[in-house]
Every structure is written in C-alpha cells, then in structure tokens.
C-alpha cells in the first residue's frame, strides 16, 4: 500500500506494508469500530493493533486519535489487569476526550488562543475557559489516522491542513508505537511542516497501576518521583505566569519518593495539573522524567522523554459523580481515579520568551521520543 500526501509544493509518498486481519510480526490487527467523519460525512473503519511482549505486557492501539486504548500489565503475583482507563467501543472515545490519545498540533494550553509566528498573529480555536487546549475543538486526537505495520512497530500518520484549528502551515505527522521484550512501550513522534508553526506532541494515557477500576483509593497509594527541580507556576486559568520557580519548599517538590496520598493535600486545589521542568543533562536524548510505583501490586512505571518538561495531572477534571464516565467493563471512572504523565514542551511556550521554543520550521522536522517502561517489584 502507498500513501500519498501533498504538503504545499511537496509530494510525499510513504510506502507501507499491506497488513491482513491476523497476526503479523507479533502484531495482531482487527477492526475496533467505525467512525462517522464529520468532515467527509462518510464512515471510516477504525483499526486496532495488539502488541505483546515476552514479559507479559500487552498493548492495544487504535487508529482513532493514534490512541493507546489498552495496556495490560501483570502484578507481583502474576495477575494481569488493565492499568489505563479505556473503553470497550467507539462510543466511549467519542464521548470522552483525550483518553490515551496522541495530542497535537500543540499539547497543553495556549493563553487566549493567541500567538505570533514570524511577525504574524494567529488566533486559534478556543475550547477551554477562554484558552486553546490540546490542539483545539477537533485536535489530532479526534481524527482517524492512516495506519500500517513497519517491521515490529505500528505507525500512524495524518495530514493536518493549513489553517486547521487556526494553525499556520500544513503538517504531516507520524506516531510510531514499539513494544520491546521487557515491556517498554516506545512512542516516537515526528512532524514536518510547510510553514513555521507550533508543534508539541505527547501521549495522554490515564494510568492507575492498581488497576483501571481502583479509583482514587488506588491512586493515593502510588509512590511518585519526578526528576525536576523547577516548575512553571500558573494563574487561575492554568496558563503559566512565565516564571521558572524552584520546587524546593513547595508542594511540587517530588524529587524524593512520596505517595500521591501525601502530596495531593498539599497541592493547591488538592491536585496536580502542572508542568515540571526536567533536570536533563542533554536535551534530545531519552532520559528518565518520572517514576511511579503501586506498592501493594508491585506494578511500576518509568517515563522517559527527550522533551524538557512533563505535565503531571491527577484527574482533577474527571467527573465526581458515579456513572458520568463509564469505561471498560462498565467501570465508573471518577475524580482522581487516574494520573497522567505527559512529556512535552512547556505550556504556552509560544507566548513565553524564556521557555524552550515550540516552533517547527520547514526543513527542520519535529521529533519527540518517549517511553512508558513497566516493571514489577516483588
């Protein structure tokens, strides 16, 4: 199969393998569901791929939102359980945003949806309390991506048109998922553009290592450590003030292992939704950003990234009422029932001069590599 994309004056041809609906190179493919595309008005098939490691970790990814739809991990007794929130069918993903999705064109918040690129001001769609969040009303998480198997990886790609959600430039984006024998899920993001444009891609899995149905009680039992000595304080609208503040003596000092149960009461609003500035020696190399351990089950997660920041979010906007969000196997997902660890550039970087640049230019592709590495402590 050959995919052809037009990016401005450039014609990009991607050759892919034709993948039948059975196991291929350790990857099983089937159909997850059907999506009614609001742009074309046609129904689009949503593919699902299942990857399994020698360590017993199983990962499922779907072409809607280039999304991680399931991760199953054994505990210290060998019992397997889902460790991410997820849904049994397309209805759940259509009704609940960002669950396991690939986020783009620009993850996190952009103040008032305003930005200036190469002297020209742009206004993006507003979809979060007067601000732009996670790519807009219909970000990359709400599209069906092209998909194929390449060697032992699943690759998703899509063309984002010039002007989509207000962004300048056409962008060809790719997300590649690879599962190693030890249970490390590698995620590689790449993008190239026809015009200077902000790009900041990440994955938005909601984790609960106690099991997806364990809720807030399970979350509070997690030990957490974040490799960051600074964070970006925010205002009431959750837009960074521009300060790079020390975590020392604050609720954001997670450099030593502490439980969420101890940390959350100290955090403003009793929860985290903040960017931590990582203590990396060499930006661009895969380094450890954060580590989580659920001691009762022994399940652990290390998160690696090449980006300068990581957003720690404790599910503060999940519904407080039961059965408002019904997930896998009829499970009710509620307030602080899971956490996210989203490696990325700093929020609102396009409007903060002292933040790392989030602008991608023609001829200089955007690249971000990250990994969810699972382990069991017995």
Positions annotated as catalytic residues are: 204, 342
- Within 10 A of 151 (CB to CB), how many other CB atoms are there? 10
Helices of type H across the chain:
90-95, 215-220, 260-263
Which tokens go with 307?
Answer: 């980006």
Query: Cα–Cα distance between 204 and 107 in angstroms, integer?
Result: 9
**By the 8 A CB rule, do 335 and 315 touch?**
yes
b (16+ CB within 10 A) / e for 279-313: ebeeeeeebbbbbbbbeebbbbbbbbbbbbbbbbb
* Residue 108 marked as a ligand binder: yes
Rounded CA-CA distance 119/179 in Å is 42
Is 273 labelled as part of a ligand binding site? yes
Question: Is 225 marked as binding a ligand?
Answer: no
Tell me if residue 182 falls in helix, strand or coil: coil
Residues 6+ apart with CB under 8 A from 218: 208, 209, 210, 211, 294, 337
Binding site, by residue number, is 108-109, 273
Binding site for beta-D-galactose, by residue number, is 108-109, 273
């Amino acid at each position: 199969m050959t995919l052809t994309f037009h990016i401005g004056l450039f014609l990009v041809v991607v050759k892919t393998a034709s993948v039948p609906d059975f196991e291929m190179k350790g990857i099983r493919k089937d159909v997850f569901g059907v999506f009614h595309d609001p742009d074309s008005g046609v129904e689009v098939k949503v593919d699902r791929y299942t990857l399994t490691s020698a360590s017993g970790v199983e990962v499922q990814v779907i072409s809607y939102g280039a999304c991680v739809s399931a991760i199953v991990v054994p505990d210290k007794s060998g019992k397997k359980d889902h460790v991410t929130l997820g849904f049994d069918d397309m209805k759940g993903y259509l009704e609940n945003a960002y669950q396991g999705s690939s986020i783009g064109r620009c993850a996190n918040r952009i103040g008032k949806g305003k930005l200036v690129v190469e002297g020209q001001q742009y206004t993006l769609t507003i979809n979060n309390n007067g601000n732009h969040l996670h790519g807009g009303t219909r970000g990359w998480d709400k599209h069906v991506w092209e998909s194929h198997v390449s060697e032992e990886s699943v690759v998703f790609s899509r063309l984002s048109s010039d002007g989509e959600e207000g962004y300048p430039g056409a962008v060809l984006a790719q997300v590649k998922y690879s599962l190693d024998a030890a249970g490390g899920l590698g995620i590689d993001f790449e993008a190239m553009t026809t015009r200077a444009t902000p790009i900041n891609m990440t994955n938005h899995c909601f984790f609960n290592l106690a099991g997806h149905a364990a809720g807030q009680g399970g979350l509070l039992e997690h030990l957490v450590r974040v490799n960051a000595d600074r964070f970006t304080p925010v205002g009431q609208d959750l837009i960074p003030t521009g300060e790079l503040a020390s975590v020392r003596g604050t609720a954001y000092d997670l450099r030593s292992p502490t439980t969420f149960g101890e940390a959350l009461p100290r955090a403003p609003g009793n929860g985290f939704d903040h960017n931590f500035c990582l203590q990396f020696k060499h930006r661009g190399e895969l380094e450890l950003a954060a580590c989580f351990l659920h001691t009762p089950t022994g399940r652990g997660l290390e998160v690696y990234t090449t980006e300068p920041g990581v957003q720690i979010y404790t599910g503060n906007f999940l519904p407080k009422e039961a059965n408002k969000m019904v997930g896998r196997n009829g499970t009710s997902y509620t307030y602080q029932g899971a956490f996210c660890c989203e490696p990325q550039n700093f929020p609102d970087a396009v409007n903060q001069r002292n933040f790392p640049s989030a602008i991608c230019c023609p001829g200089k592709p955007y690249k971000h590599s990250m990994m969810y590495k699972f382990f069991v402590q017995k």
